[in-house]
């Protein structure tokens, strides 16, 4: 059973306290993915970029990128007004930041507007991720970059769409399904064909152990399992094949 995107928003409202904790989790310290992203981005060259942070949540990604790009102007959008309110409270008021309530499927920006477009851990939760990806490409300038974190199947030509209910959350009482999409590189190539110049996939392998499941061992807390080859991240028993996708338009 697939979720509807409205269900995703409703679940965050119902799970209010839990949602705020999720949004604010990596505000005061960088997540392992944030650290990896900054390695990929390299050093700032002082460019006065226009940067879009789409589906921005509470602004955690931008909070750290503000230091990475001190001369950039930031444009944050999210469909969740509660998340935008958190972002406004969290982010440096002295910086030039524009906030907009806007769906990722119909972003309130003109074509070819941004030098960098970020979308963090969102595509995996959408019922039509390819449509959202096309919006990110649309608002990016030619030669600019779209950088996003999501689940990708790099080794196998298999797409996995997983619907689930976390019975430890209030939203489960409303029978609301959430979703994790794992998109194969085979499908990604088809989506990007003729629309972009190039792309790179950077597989994310955790360096530190995740032990979030200790606080909610029966729910979707993430944890790592050590194998002879690498650490694997699991969430609620599901394998999370995270990667950072960098697209050049």
Q: Under 8 Å CB-to-CB from 92, ≥6 apart: which residues? A: 66
pLDDT digits (tens, 9 = 90+) for 56-99: 999 999 999 999 999 999 999 999 888 899 999 999 889 999 99
pLDDT digit string, tens, across residues 136-166 = 999 999 999 999 999 999 999 999 999 988 8
pTM for this prediction: 0.90
Domains of the chain in sequence order:
5-207+242-248 (3.40.50.150)
**Which residues, in sequence order, are CB contacts of 63 under 8 Å at separation 6+?**
27, 90, 91
Q: Which of 20, 32, 61 is nearest to 233 (CA)?
A: 32
* Per-residue pLDDT reduced to its tens digit, 89-124: 999 889 999 999 999 999 999 999 999 999 999 999
Per-residue pLDDT for 1 more than 50?
Answer: no
Is 90 exceeded by the pLDDT of residue 242? yes
Residue 177's pLDDT band (boundaries 50, 70, 90)? confident
Comparison of pLDDT for 103 and 175, the residue scoring more: 103
Q: In three state form, how does the secondary structure of 49-109 look?
A: CEEEEECCCCCHHHHHHHHHCCCCEEEEEECCHHHHHHHHHHCCCCCCEEEEECCCCCCCC
Q: Which one-letter DSSP state was computed for residue 167?
A: T
**For residue 157, how many other CB atoms are within 10 A of its CB?**
10
Has residue 3 got a pLDDT over 60?
A: no
Listed range (190-194, 197-201, 234-238) with the worst mean pLDDT: 234-238
């Amino acid at each position: 059973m697939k979720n509807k995107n409205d269900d995703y928003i409703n679940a965050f409202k119902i799970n209010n306290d839990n949602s705020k904790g999720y949004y604010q989790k990596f505000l005061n310290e960088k997540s392992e993915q944030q650290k990896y992203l900054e390695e990929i981005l390299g050093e700032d060259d002082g460019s006065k970029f226009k940067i879009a942070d789409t589906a921005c949540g509470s602004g955690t990604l931008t909070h750290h990128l503000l230091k990475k790009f001190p001369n950039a102007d930031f444009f944050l959008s999210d469909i969740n007004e509660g998340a935008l309110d958190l972002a406004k409270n969290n982010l440096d008021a002295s910086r030039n930041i524009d906030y907009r309530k806007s769906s990722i499927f119909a972003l309130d920006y003109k074509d070819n507007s941004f030098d960098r477009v970020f979308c963090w851990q969102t595509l995996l939760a959408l019922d039509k991720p390819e449509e959202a990806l096309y919006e990110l490409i649309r608002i990016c300038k030619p030669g600019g970059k779209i950088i996003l974190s999501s689940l990708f199947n790099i080794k196998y030509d298999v797409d996995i769409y997983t619907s689930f209910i976390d019975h430890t959350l209030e939203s489960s009482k409303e029978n609301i399904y959430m979703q994790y999409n794992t998109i194969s590189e085979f499908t990604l190539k088809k989506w990007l064909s003729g629309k972009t110049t190039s792309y790179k996939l950077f597989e994310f392998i955790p360096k530190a152990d995740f032990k979030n499941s200790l606080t909610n061992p029966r729910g979707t807390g993430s944890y790592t399992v050590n194998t002879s080859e690498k650490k694997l991240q699991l969430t609620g028993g599901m394998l999370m094949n995270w990667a950072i996708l960098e697209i050049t338009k």
